[in-house]
Amino acid sequence: MKFKLLKKEKNTKARCGIISTPHGDIETPVFMPVGTTGTVKAMTMRDMKETGASIMLGNTYHLYLRPGVEVIKNAGGLHKFIGWDKPLLTDSGGFQVFSLQGLRKVTEDGVLFQSYLDGSEHMFSPEKVMEIENTLGADIIMAFDECVPNPCEKEYAIEALERTTAWAQRCRNAHDSKDRALFGIIQGSIFPDLRERSAKEITNIDFDGYAIGGLSVGESKDLMYGMVDIVEPFMPADKPRYLMGVGTPEDIWAAVERGVDMFDCVMPTRIARNGSIYTSGGRIIIRNSIYSKDLSPLDPECDCYTCKNFTKSYLRHLANMGEFTGKQLNTLHNLTFMIKLLATIKTAIKEDRFLEAKEAFFKKYNNT
């Protein structure tokens, strides 16, 4: 993987660049749809390409459990198994350390997980995670870390930070593939001194890119943005910067302004399946009765398949009937909206009018 920084916006820390991978180039800043188990829910790979997505995610822990590493290896790797010929990123399972608290035991060696499927036990060490991720074959893989909850006692946050640093070095030592980029992850919870410490320790290890983990887990927006402000000065300018698990329109504008390049989030797809839609005029709930006879598209400024072919009235009908087609069409639109949002932001950066573009977006987006 190679990263080329193309432009720094003159009024902010916003930047754009290109990440080159064996499966194609990724223009940054970029939003990455989440395909936890090898698929973005309600979407085919044909649909994914129609959104304009240049990269998608998979999750090491879930793919390890089902269908299993051997199945994917036998298929020729994750790209071939899922039918996606563009770049892929795999998370390491570190978020599951946080989200599966009742089903895991953390030690210095790694994490002993109890499968949520059948109760079987599985040990994830940094070395094991590198072995799994390299076998899956994504273009960008993540180091194994410990993500802590919020609120969190500072003593525990320190312990998790120290484990994350130790595991990061072990991942770096175990990673021997030149075909895959390895990103380190900065932790430290909501404690400014720990965030700075973690940023220094992780960036001292020679990774191909650096991620900010452990945010968007219950803290306030201002606190999350504050943590980004703290770590950004310590993140190398010549490496990609990835804010993990964050991806609402509001958060993306705020984080890009602070110098972040990469985002992922389940929010656009999750809310779409429940009938909540992003539009240029703001977020709408398509189930609402006001749309029962509305023959306009979801968003008059969108040219996605959904907006070009279907009305709010029809999409409301599908949602209220529980039809899966509605979930698919809503998801296609929301992902297209996010991809186009990042395209708008990239153009604004290149033209040194980021703040102007941000103001124009929210003048319309909040008008609901």
Domain boundaries, the chain: 2-265, 272-365
User: Per the residue annotation, which of 145, 261, 264, 299 is the catalytic one?
Assistant: 264
Q: What is the pLDDT along the chain (368 residues), one digit of tens a residue?
A: 999 999 999 999 999 999 999 999 999 999 999 999 999 999 999 999 999 999 999 999 999 999 999 999 999 999 999 999 999 999 998 888 888 888 899 999 999 999 999 999 999 999 999 999 999 999 999 999 999 999 999 999 999 999 999 999 999 999 988 899 999 999 999 999 999 999 999 999 999 999 999 999 999 999 999 999 999 999 999 999 999 999 999 999 999 999 999 999 999 999 999 999 999 999 999 999 999 999 999 999 999 999 999 999 999 999 999 999 999 999 999 999 999 999 999 999 999 999 999 999 999 997 54
User: Is 264 considered catalytic here?
Assistant: yes
User: Per the residue annotation, which of 91, 139, 208, 251 is the catalytic one?
Assistant: 91
Q: Under a CB-based contact definition with an 8 Å cutoff, are residues 34 and 264 in contact?
A: yes
CA atoms of 61 and 27, how far apart (whole Å)? 27
| Residue 265 Cα distances to 74, 76, 93, 159, 353, angstroms | 29, 27, 15, 27, 26
pTM confidence score: 0.97
Q: Under a CB-based contact definition with an 8 Å cutoff, are residues 275 and 319 in contact?
A: yes
* CATH class of this structure's domain 2-265: alpha beta
User: Is 139 considered catalytic here?
Assistant: no
Residue pointed to by tokens 């129609």? 50
